[in-house]
């Protein structure tokens, strides 16, 4: 017999946030710093006063892109503070991994690419990069991906990619 799972909307909630962004563009370098503060509260149900699920209070980002000639180098860093994975704001994870606090994490990605002109207004960009350069552990839970339990963010991943523009 197959179990039927239902997704229930949160109901009424309150959220306020502040977002700051600083962008700097120089001749060959573009950089951006960002910060978001998010304060949430459930206003209905048995969890009145709790924070919303999957809503980190702090989010910090930084990125830089350097272009010279046909080469482009970039780096991105993201930090997300801890958050709760359920409306009850359960701190300790249960034995099935369906509830519990999601720890903070830092994600750093890098990429180096080169444009190769092919003529006839076509350009091939070949790049290599590293996703999760610091090999940080991070987890998430979600009804659309994991009905129960937590899913780890992939570890350090090396990428080789190509893009054809025409």
- Amino acid 87: pLDDT: 86
- Amino acid 134: pLDDT: 94
Q: What is the SS3 assignment for 11?
A: coil
pTM: 0.82
Token pair 């998430």 is at which residue? 140
- Amino acid 4: pLDDT: 63
- Amino acid 24: pLDDT: 96
| Residue numbers in the chain where pLDDT is lower than 70 | 1-10, 141-149
Measured CA to CA in angstroms, residue 30 lies from 60, 109, 128, 129, 158 at distances of 17, 16, 20, 18, 24
């Amino acid at each position: 017999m197959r179990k039927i799972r239902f997704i229930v909307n949160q109901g009424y909630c309150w959220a306020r946030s502040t977002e700051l962004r600083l962008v700097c563009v120089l001749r060959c370098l573009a950089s951006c710093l960002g910060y978001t503060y998010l304060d949430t509260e459930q206003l209905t149900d048995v969890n009145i006063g709790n924070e919303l699920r999957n809503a980190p209070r702090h989010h910090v980002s930084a990125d830089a892109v350097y272009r010279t000639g046909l080469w482009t180098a970039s780096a991105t860093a993201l930090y997300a503070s801890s958050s709760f994975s359920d409306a009850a704001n359960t701190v300790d994870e249960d034995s099935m991994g369906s509830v519990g606090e999601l720890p903070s994490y830092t994600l750093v990605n890098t990429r180096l690419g080169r444009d190769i002109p092919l003529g006839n207004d076509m350009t091939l960009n070949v790049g290599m990069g590293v996703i999760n350069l610091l090999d940080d552990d991070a987890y998430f839970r979600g009804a659309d991906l994991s009905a129960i339990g937590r899913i780890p963010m992939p570890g350090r991943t090396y990428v080789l990619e190509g893009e054809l523009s025409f």
